[in-house]
Chain A
């Protein structure tokens, strides 16, 4: 399986990225290289190997359900590209 220009554009759209043409070509080439490498792994017989989701052991310790002090409101909005006194502000997402 190889990554086409359209695959790259589709993924770029999901991530809301605008890619210039030359980058689309570049990314398609890169992704194909990565997939070729994964194909190497596919040659190994993993028939009886359960999938490994995590390298760490399952955790039976949970956080106690306690609410602590929140992040300061002004501090939270300070790093936002745009905000008013109350809200984060982003370009309108519906018509």
Chain B
């Protein structure tokens, strides 16, 4: 992701940008929002369906408890107020992948409202993005237009998959901020275990409302809506493109037309949605088939109790209790899976090794993950094996360079660090019974250097250590060698 060229930042001071984002997160439930059937991805078309999902008459929706639970989780994590009573509404529009003719959503009374997300800006400062609402709804099915030249094919496996829609106030002022906000939302839904956060696969989807106005003006300009931005990078690119387009229109005396635009990631431009794709008169009304949702105090308390430690708290704990430097703690907690891995390793080798484990993950492990574009959950060295390696290093049984060699040899197999260290003859000798004779031999064999050392050229200690290391074929523990040498060189002077 970081390999692509950066988008040029326009230092235009005449206009400021106002952006509001709507993020849809597909929830990791077992079953659909209103029907007891799997939402598993990748099954043959039209196999994860019930009569309800295909819009048969006489069917009735029944609300999935985990849709409510997960919506409250993200609500609590973003400081929202949780509505004791909220209602579902029908959003009516006509499209083949919506067989009921309406989407069950929430309109006037969302389950969560008035929250906020704090984002970190490029200069390290924090900005608060207010959330207007988070509501529950269901996904539509999938229309396939490119398999059959004369027809549209419809797969309803996805129809009824539970979603939350997270809506910001127009508080975002640049594409960079939009990116930072999305990164934060992704991090949160992953920590909360409610969504896998994968934008490329569509489990996080983002639409943007965007307008410009002369600096200093209070009223918002006419906005356009941007859709089809299926990666973090595309969101940034599409917003940048649209800002420039709007500025160009206004500077040339034109006016912005309120419309929905699609981002074309191949041509790298926005294009107008055809009118057929646009149907903005949704005629919302309360869903008569579902009773109002009532969140009891008990249920709310239950959800509060299951909330995991959130990124910010976890980072602080890593700093305060494990004494990790703040930047290291930040990177480790950016993604829940990395932080989980770190803690799993630590539970095998004790909190005293926190620094060594953190260093190893931040350097070697991350390098391998980046090179192979792997998720840490698929990393070939499990926490227990990595802990074994850290233990060898922390007990001075191997040198730093040996650690690297062993680490590389552990990739892609299931051998332990101990096995590899023994096999490659990398274990350091810390046995003074073995080292002392070598030390004595080196001292006896270099009388000139010994004399100069005793005259004050203490820098020569490096020379002695080197000699001993050579004689021990690199297996001696350098610190121990140094200690033994020092005591010999100093005591007999």
Binding site for B on A (CB under 8 A): 14-16, 53-54, 56-60, 62-71, 73, 76-77, 82, 84, 86-95
Contacts and interface: CB of A to CB of B under 8 A. Distances in A.
A70 B96 CA distance: 21
Given A62-B63, A63-B64, A93-B152, A88 B145 contact: no
A interface, by DSSP: helix, strand, loop or mixed?
loop
A60 B299 contact: yes
A54 B93 CA distance: 23
Closest 5 CB pairs of A and B: A62-B65, A58-B294, A87-B153, A65-B66, A59-B291
Most buried by B among A14, A56, A67, A73: A67
A63 B65 contact: yes
A24 B64 CA distance: 42
B261 interface: no
A6 to B, nearest CB: 14
A73 B45 CA distance: 9
A94 B46 contact: no
22 contacts: A14-B281, A53-B292, A54-B288, A58-B294, A59-B63, A59-B293, A59-B294, A62-B64, A63-B36, A63-B62, A66-B36, A67-B30, A67-B38, A71-B37, A86-B155, A87-B45, A89-B148, A89-B152, A89-B153, A92-B150, A92-B152, A93-B145
A64 to B, nearest CB: 6
B37 A67 contact: yes
Interface in B319-372: none
B153 A84 contact: yes
A79 to B, nearest CB: 8
Contact of A59 (B144, B276, B292): B292
Contact of A14 (B54, B94, B150): B94
Contacts of B38: 67, 70
Contacts of A62: 63-65, 68
Contacts of B154: 87-90
Given A70-B50, A76-B54, A87 B291 contact: no
A62 B162 CA distance: 14
Given A63-B36, A64-B65, A93-B276, A70 B291 contact: no
B291 A54 contact: yes
Contacts of B281: 14
- Give the size range of B's interface with the partner: 35 or more
Given A63-B63, A71-B51, A86-B46, A56 B291 contact: yes
Contact of A65 (B30, B49, B293, B296): B30
B17 interface: no
Nearest to A86: B45
Most buried by B among A15, A16, A88, A93: A88
Contact of A91 (B64, B95, B151, B293): B151
Given A70-B48, A87-B155, A93-B152, 14 more contacts: A14-B94, A58-B85, A59-B63, A62-B68, A66-B30, A67-B38, A84-B153, A88-B46, A88-B54, A88-B96, A92-B148, A93-B95, A93-B96, A94-B276
Contact of B152 (A54, A56, A94): A94
A66 B296 CA distance: 22
